[in-house]
Structure 1
Amino acid sequence: MDSGKQERLVIFDCDIGADDAWALAMLLRAESLSLPDGRRHKVIAITCVQGNSEVENGSLNALRVLKLLDRMDVPVFKGCALPLVPRTWTNTSRYHGSDGFKDVGDYPEVADWQEQLQREHAVNAMYRLVCQHPKQVDFLLCGPLTNFANCINLYDDAFLDKIGGVYMMGGNIYGQGNITKSAEFNFMMDPEAAHSTLERLKEPALILPWEPCCDDDFTPTLDWRLNELGAGMHPFVELLTRVERSILVSRGITKWRNPDAALTAAYLFPKAMILDQSEYYAAVELAGVHTRGQLVLDHLRGRKMDAIHGKKINVRIIRRLNREVFRTIISWTGFHPQASVEELCKRGRPANSQAN
């Protein structure tokens, strides 16, 4: 993936709950930054997909976030309501409630919200935008891959030949699941979409899997999230604090995991955020009785191409992230008065930050 020094245009594909909301706020706030490698970026579309909640709820939540951030200029597109193949299991956890924001209420008013959505379907918008800006559009995929896979299926090489970088939050590398015993949520909500996407990409995607987001050396405490990061008085932070308090405290969770925001921070500040990554050929298990939706890495061949099947590296897997850098970035995202990313932009790593 050659991002180049020109302005990068970003399509943020999401199933907005609190985790996606933090990631979106980070992307939008960072539009004003000149990043360490000279990049600047602009969010040109938010595309919504089934996942944490129904796609209608996710689309409304996207508008709510934009309203709180005073960014109603960013277009929101409603995408796919169902996975590629009907599910044979039911997600009964309702982890994010019925509306994606744990039904906490008292949301910002978005008048005639369905009229605020773009008329164009998210999949068609993805294709149109890469045609208008060949090789300049990066995709941050923070939900199930249904929209992206459908765009590949509809437009084939006419789409794939024009995309920029592809960045995914999804999958797992040690078989640790968070929705089933062996599958991560985003991949399990549409395993066929994840598998077909990895098979068709012409350049490796950067993937942040689930397990690095659970690493004790990376994960901030929930106490820090609620009482330090949550001390900000911005309406965006106030809403997400209510949402995450409702989700996490009742479950006795003591760590704050936000993989979507972590992926976004890695997109913006890769040298500072990513402490270790490896290249693999990867696929997604579709038929396993116990392992459907699990990301499978080819550890045998490593960097070598499979001479029989012609399989080559299709993913770069993030294995470790920098906690202190992330805390700096997310604090700045949350309008903390003492947080700054100026040093990150200048040198790629704060002067007082050390790798964990």
Structure 2
Amino acid sequence: MTDQVHMIIDCDVGVDDAQAIMLALAMPNVELVAITCVAGNVDVDKVCINTLKVLEVCDRLDVPVYKGATSAILGNIERAEFYHGQDGMGDADGIAGPDLTMIKQEVAAIALVRMVNERPGQISIAAIGPLTNIAIAMKLDPNFTQKLKNIVIMGGELEGKAAAFLTSEFNFTCDPEAIQIVLSGSHCPVDLLPFEVCTNYGFSSDFFEDLISHNSRKAKFIKAITAGSLEKDLRRAGQYIPCDLYAIASLVKKSCVTRRDHVHVQVELHGSLTRGKMITDWNKKVSQDHNINIITEMDMDSLKVMYSKTV
């Protein structure tokens, strides 16, 4: 029997975040408690709009949405329109604009603290964007992570092969200080899914084309928003890689992850070429405190089954 998951998704909704949300909503063992929005792939106002678009196509506008940080903790701004389009949703035509009055007035970090305090030990956070909101919540409530069930983070890199920057993955580059706050200060189990691991479990073009060929509103939605990013992935890697979807899958079904390596992880904050780079202390040179579970292997068959449920 699959365990019930009470999930908050903290995200910067672009093309893969949208599909990650759709996966969470499609799984019967998931209660999507809320979605908190953070600046990242696009600015946070566009993230809020995109979140509501996803909820609308899934007929789940009952899920509360909170607007969060507009920039990194130090005010830095990185964007990924080169992959997700100017609107973050592939600049797809024919997707109606949502009712923005549905965005809750409570600030995301404050809402995170409140929701976790209301349900101590129950909430899992899927952090699939920059970690600014979560870092702020940890500063607002020093016991915040002690009351979480667990966190899964999509971000970082193991081999310096992340597509967006020279040595660091996009989510880590957006707000390295927030990453360091979360990695060094969390008091709940933390799973981290690096970029290169996602690339090991890409979906073939045949599988993806079959997925979006379904005559459903959700399949047509995915087809519309992924047109540009699919082309980029196929040209670069020969497969489609919706990274954020894997993070949700790892929370939804534990057996989807077949290997985790326990290691101390930090992030570089100062290097002119390496700011935001994930540092894994495999040789125990810095610390004996192995604080992070790095997801290194996943079950491709399970991923395919779960991905198919989004449409």
Per the normalisation by structure 2, the TM-score is: 0.93
Could you tell me which of 92, 95, 98 is aligned with 2:83? 95
**Kindly tell me: are residues 250 and 161 of structure 1, through their superposed partners in 2, closer, same or farther at Cα, counting changes over 3 Å?**
closer
**Kindly tell me: are residues 11 and 244 of structure 1, through their superposed partners in 2, closer, same or farther at Cα, counting changes over 3 Å?**
same
Could you tell me which of 193, 213, 227 is aligned with 2:178? 193
1:230 aligns with 2:182: no
Bigger mean CA offset, 249-258 vs 142-151: 249-258
Preserved CA contact (<8 Å) 2:44 2:70: yes
Quote the sequence identity (%). Answer: 29
The aligned counterpart of 2:221 is 239
CA distance in 2, matches of 1:45, 1:123: 12
Deviation at 1:299, TM superposition (A): 1.0
Deviation at 1:28, TM superposition (A): 1.1
CA distance in 2, matches of 1:185, 1:127: 26
Deviation at 1:288, TM superposition (A): 1.3
Question: 1:331-350 residue pairs with structure 2 within 5 A?
Answer: 331-334=308-311
Question: 1:77-96 residue pairs with structure 2 within 5 A?
Answer: 77-87=66-76, 91=79, 94-96=82-84
Q: How many residues align?
A: 308
Q: Give the root-mean-square deviation of aligned CA atoms.
A: 2.0
The aligned counterpart of 1:289 is 272
The aligned counterpart of 1:147 is 133
The letter for the 2-side match of 1:105 is D
Deviation at 1:90, TM superposition (A): 5.5
CA distance in 2, matches of 1:243, 1:92: 15
SS of 2:104's equivalent in the other structure is coil
Could you tell me which of 283, 290, 305 is aligned with 1:313? 290
The aligned counterpart of 2:14 is 17
SS of 2:309's equivalent in the other structure is helix
CA distance in 2, matches of 1:129, 1:209: 28
CA distance in 2, matches of 1:26, 1:248: 18
CA distance in 1, matches of 2:43, 2:218: 22
The aligned counterpart of 1:277 is 260
The letter for the 2-side match of 1:136 is Q
The letter for the 2-side match of 1:221 is S
**Kindly tell me: are residues 91 and 141 of structure 1, through their superposed partners in 2, closer, same or farther at Cα, counting changes over 3 Å?**
closer
Deviation at 1:122, TM superposition (A): 0.6
Deviation at 1:324, TM superposition (A): 1.8
Superposed CA deviations along residues 282-304 of structure 1, whole A, max 9, x for unmatched, are 001111121111111111129xx
Superposed CA deviations along residues 170-199 of structure 1, whole A, max 9, x for unmatched, are 111222222112111111111111111101
Preserved CA contact (<8 Å) 2:13 2:51: yes
SS of 2:84's equivalent in the other structure is coil
Could you tell me which of 124, 129, 148 is aligned with 1:138? 124
Deviation at 1:250, TM superposition (A): 6.0
SS of 2:226's equivalent in the other structure is helix
Unaligned runs of 5+ in 1: 34-40, 335-356
SS of 2:90's equivalent in the other structure is coil
Preserved CA contact (<8 Å) 1:67 1:108: no
CA distance in 1, matches of 2:9, 2:112: 10
Preserved CA contact (<8 Å) 2:57 2:218: yes
Superposed CA deviations along residues 265-291 of structure 1, whole A, max 9, x for unmatched, are 1111121x2122100010011111211
The aligned counterpart of 1:107 is 95
Superposed CA deviations along residues 116-169 of structure 1, whole A, max 9, x for unmatched, are 111111111100001111111110101110100011112212x22212211110
CA distance in 2, matches of 1:132, 1:324: 36
Deviation at 1:114, TM superposition (A): 2.1
CA distance in 2, matches of 1:275, 1:320: 5
